[in-house]
Structure 1
Amino acid sequence: MRPADLAREHGLSTQAVRNYEQDGFLPPAARTASGYRIYTEVHASALRAFLALVAAYGHSTAGGVMNAVHNNDLDRALTLVDRGHAQLLRDRETLDTVRKAIGHLTSAPEPSGPVRTIGELAHRLGVTAATVRAWERAGILAPERNPATGYRVFRATDVRDAELAHLLRRGGYPLEHIATVVDQVRTAGGTDSLAEALVTWQEKLTARGLAMLDAAGLLSAHWRARSWPAAGRSRPTPEEVLPASP
């Protein structure tokens, strides 16, 4: 095959295919006497696997997996894949946490009322001012400052975020996790908007999970394809393809 043959299947430029080979995402191509690259079905399977991995895990992880495969480091490749699945699981857990938290908060009116000081907010929640400051340092809260006094002022949305943080903290969630959840609420524009956005969020997680399944099949096919060049070898047995059990 020529670079154009590989590129055409995926709507890529021939330069992109060359770049992928240079970066190790495709195995090195043989050359003709005149210096032209010669690609084979192994290169085609590598390109399919790489592009599927990009859709499932992102460009960086996809490149790392393919480099590991072409360096015969299957354990490294599988470790990167496992990390991607672990991240997807964490995202699903975050989504579940947000659903539960939003369900709790939307059972009562949205926080409203006068601007509060840090002491008033702490008293409302039954925590210390130091705890509120710790939430601010973690990125959970982002209060404004009174330009005259420099003191923190907490508006209705800040009170909402603090109540959500307090709820999740009681549930044992770490501050980093809570910051992610609160950021989702802020980005959506409030709990009502976030409740609507959860459907889209779920769809994205489902799409990513399906992309991981597709990528796994293509990566496995490529690992097998590159394990038995056509010259003089028969199809490998499962024992040849997979590492032996300890």
Structure 2
Amino acid sequence: MKKILRPVDLAQATGLSVQSIRNYERYGFIPPAERGPQGYRLYTAHHLHALRISRTIIASYGWARARLIMSTLHRHDLPAALALIDAYHAEIHGNRCHIEETLRALRTTSITIAPLFATEDAAKLKLLNERQGLLIREAARRVDVRVSALRFWEEQGLLHPARDRTSGYRFYDAEQMRNLQVIVLLRKAGYNFEAIRAILAQLAAGTPEQALQAAEKRLQELAEMSRRCLEALAELWAYIKTL
């Protein structure tokens, strides 16, 4: 016969409140508990296992995504749960690829940005970039942000796209796209607008050290996220085999 655990037993074992235990059940983090004759919840060691696994998954995948993963597993839909997990790993990989691309752009910045300013050839290069530049929707799609974000960053003085004199359309040339990649990266890393302005100014002066450091730090953070996910998955798979 399985040992019956009360909500307070699970709360004491995990450091959560009794109400939190009920919430975890309501949101699908743990399987529904059987009820006793008087309606009391009857938990078991399996529920305690699910609760501990849920907290591990939350720490690695975030609350909302962990809720979807665990509730899907408890509906006995393993393929859908695996798809949710894979989607998050793909997101991490996509971010890593984007940052590596940004790093490559930054590493060439000291050579390529300085000639864009205050030289006779700069006007020709700027004109060429304007003709070959990206419209705002395409520029936003390239860095996976909303069009409204680009407009807002322009209002903040972070972007300076060229404008077509006839249509008024914005065009983002190679220089602006490099700046846009840097802005997206630094915003994700938690930098405020003042700090980003300073870094963009350094980039324009051919000194990308701070931006490079931020990108490399973000890569380290993503590696740590991958490590935590791997550890969590090892525990999750052991739990899945008990379902």
* Structure-2-length-normalised TM-score: 0.68
Cα distance, 1:209 vs structure 2: 0.7
Cα distance, 1:224 vs structure 2: 1.6
- For residues 159 and 114 of structure 2, the distance between their equivalents in structure 1, rounded to whole angstroms, comes to 9
Cα distance, 1:26–1:193 mapped onto 2, change above 3 Å:
same
The reply to whether residue 95 of structure 1 matches residue 99 of structure 2 is yes
Partner residue, 2:66: 62
Partner residue, 1:214: 231
Cα distance, 1:22 vs structure 2: 1.0
Alignment map for 1:135-146 (pairs within 5 Å) = 138=140, 139=147, 140=150, 142-144=153-155
Cα distance, 1:8–1:122 mapped onto 2, change above 3 Å:
farther
Do the aligned residues in 2 keep the contact of 1:6 with 1:44 (CA within 8 Å)? yes
Cα distance, 1:80 vs structure 2: 0.5
Higher helix fraction (1 or 2): 2
Which of 46, 53, 62 is the equivalent residue of 1:49?
Answer: 53
- For residues 199 and 72 of structure 1, the distance between their equivalents in structure 2, rounded to whole angstroms, comes to 40
Do the aligned residues in 1 keep the contact of 2:31 with 2:47 (CA within 8 Å)? yes
Do the aligned residues in 2 keep the contact of 1:122 with 1:132 (CA within 8 Å)? no
- For residues 16 and 111 of structure 1, the distance between their equivalents in structure 2, rounded to whole angstroms, comes to 60
Which letter does structure 2 place at the counterpart of 1:217?
A
Q: How many residues align?
A: 201
Cα distance, 1:35–1:184 mapped onto 2, change above 3 Å:
same
Structure 1 segments unaligned to the other structure (5+ residues): 115-119, 146-154, 168-177, 227-246
Which of 32, 37, 52 is the equivalent residue of 2:36?
Answer: 32
Alignment map for 1:1-246 (pairs within 5 Å) = 1-107=5-111, 123-124=125-126, 126-128=128-130, 131=133, 133-134=135-136, 138=140, 139=147, 140=150, 142-144=153-155, 158=160, 162-166=173-177, 181-185=182-186, 187=191, 189=196, 190=199, 191-226=208-243
Cα distance, 1:41–1:32 mapped onto 2, change above 3 Å:
same
Q: CA RMSD in A?
A: 3.5
Cα distance, 1:162–1:128 mapped onto 2, change above 3 Å:
closer
Cα distance, 1:47 vs structure 2: 1.4
Q: Taking every aligned residue pair, what percent have the same amino acid on both sides?
A: 29
Do the aligned residues in 1 keep the contact of 2:113 with 2:175 (CA within 8 Å)? no
Which letter does structure 2 place at the counterpart of 1:80?
L
Q: For 1:129-172, what per-residue CA distance to the aligned partner results, in whole angstroms no more than 9, with x for missing partners?
A: 58355379734574459xxxxxxxxx78648x8544556xxxxx
Structure 2 segments unaligned to the other structure (5+ residues): 141-146, 162-171, 200-207
Cα distance, 1:123–1:6 mapped onto 2, change above 3 Å:
same
- For residues 19 and 10 of structure 1, the distance between their equivalents in structure 2, rounded to whole angstroms, comes to 14
Partner residue, 1:238: none
Cα distance, 1:122 vs structure 2: 8.4
- For residues 202 and 102 of structure 1, the distance between their equivalents in structure 2, rounded to whole angstroms, comes to 14
Which letter does structure 2 place at the counterpart of 1:184?
L
- For residues 212 and 156 of structure 1, the distance between their equivalents in structure 2, rounded to whole angstroms, comes to 35
Partner SS state of residue 45, structure 1: helix
